[in-house]
Structure 1
């Protein structure tokens, strides 16, 4: 099994540095010192309000969200969060709902990692693909987006390494 599966697509020098820190049992302590506190958005209601506040600050004119919630049915290797568009016929009209689900493990993670994944899923409201415009939108909402994404992947690696 690949012990660096969360960063396997990163450059070799980053993988080597991460492996070295893991081998020396220093990576976890380094991340703990950098991100010492777990966020306080523990309920689905609090998560929804947090996501809507970010959306309203940066994407006021984008589609509305009907639901934002934690889900234990998401595999962190394949996805850290999911966005879905659901269309239903209601009377004679077609109603579209947009929902975001965040992996339940984010309840126990630092705020920076939760913000990164919420920003990522919100960006999908405007850009479906992971293209240049998508990542520009992510960086607009969170200037440290790429730093947090790498650190989150290293954090997940630490969690797997500890098991």
Structure 2
């Protein structure tokens, strides 16, 4: 079951269904059917605008974002999908803070729902630091299908690890 490390904590019946899709080599097809097209947020500037729009729509009183970008150094399979950073520096008598979000560059050509899920996840950390009930409630507030998309993203990572990169979304 090492091939199911991304969904290891799900029920046995769920894992069995995923194993059947893998055995039939239909996991990628299943994902393409559910999420047929890629987003068009390809540049760091467009990503900054997209994430900032989410932030201003749902968590207006959170501190402003200094930087949002795609990061080719994030190792998705072994590390993370995205990261968030809170950087505080003393400049004279003032405390300056910067808030950054970095998203793995492999998501430049993924469905919008996957990009939104990662952005929502990282934005939620600005209000709730821990992965607790308040954190996931905020995620669901910003993206009502958050948990389903997170599961599907885990399937996507499983597909990538087992069969390599999927055909690009159109």
TM-score range (shorter-chain normalised) is: over 0.9
Hey, which bits of structure 1, 4+ residues long, moved more than 3 A? none
1:159 Cα deviation from its structure 2 partner: 1.3
Q: Could you tell me which residue of structure 2 aligns to residue 95 of structure 1?
A: 96
* Corresponding position of 2:85: 84
- In the alignment, which residue of structure 2 is the partner of 1:57? 57
| SS of alignment partner, residue 128 of structure 1 | coil
Match of residue 21 from structure 2: 21
Tell me, in whole angstroms, the C-alpha distance in 2 between the residues paired with 1:152 and 1:48.
Answer: 22
SS of the residue 2:97 aligns to: strand
How high is the TM-score relative to the length of structure 2? Answer: 0.92
1:138 corresponds to = 139
Note the aligned Cα RMSD (angstroms). 1.2
Count residues in correspondence. Answer: 163
Counterpart CA distance in 2 for 1:160 and 1:22 is 12
Q: CA deviation at 1:91?
A: 2.7
1:71 maps to what in 2? Answer: 71
Q: Distance in 1 between matches of 2:12 and 2:84?
A: 31
Pairwise CA distance, 1:113? 0.3
